[in-house]
Amino acid sequence: MNLTITRAVPQDMPAVLSLINELAIFEKEPDAVKINEEVLLENGFGDNPLFYCFVAKENDTVIGMALCYYRFSTWEGKSLHLEDLVVKEAYRNKGVGKKLYDQVMTFGKENGVKRVEWVVLDWNKNAIAFYEKSGAQFLKDWYLVQMDEGRLHKYVKTLETNL
């Protein structure tokens, strides 16, 4: 396999979006992706990108990607969040995901982060085994909490009505 891992460029965004959609299907959420290429281009490139993306290419064809962004821990300082790491189904179990993972970890170390963090679905046994083997720590006493757009609007509306 002629595999290269590079920082994504704007021309990679159609393939990145395709991988995001493939991940949504894998995670049993086929209709969950609301973004498009324009959103990726607008937010991933320019003077203040909101994310960094690495792509795995075989002979110039994108076959995997890892998308991450900085966060800040009030206890530890600069951290990196790995949002998604996905490899096309035909290329899984061939070391592509590990190469992308290694790139994100290297990027974090080179940029002085105190930790890299991410979430994994509890049924994704292959990913869990991979992360455990890499030495990652699972924080089982923490809950992932989210406020989706609909709930956010509802909450803020209650704030406005109580003024």
Q: Supply the DSSP symbol for 85.
A: E
- What's the CA gap between 59 and 73, in Å, rounded? 39
Is 101 considered catalytic here? no
Q: Given the residues 69, 70, 131, 143, select the one marked as catalytic.
A: 131
Helix (H) and strand (E) counts in the chain = 5, 5
- What's the CA gap between 109 and 115, in Å, rounded? 9
- What's the CA gap between 163 and 158, in Å, rounded? 9
The set of residues, in sequence order, having a beta carbon less than 8 Å from that of 115 and lying 6+ positions away, is 73, 76, 79, 80
Q: Which string of b and e fits 56-87 if b means at least 16 CB within 10 Å?
A: bbbeeebbbbbbbbeeeeeeeeebbbbebbbb
| Catalytic machinery residues | 131
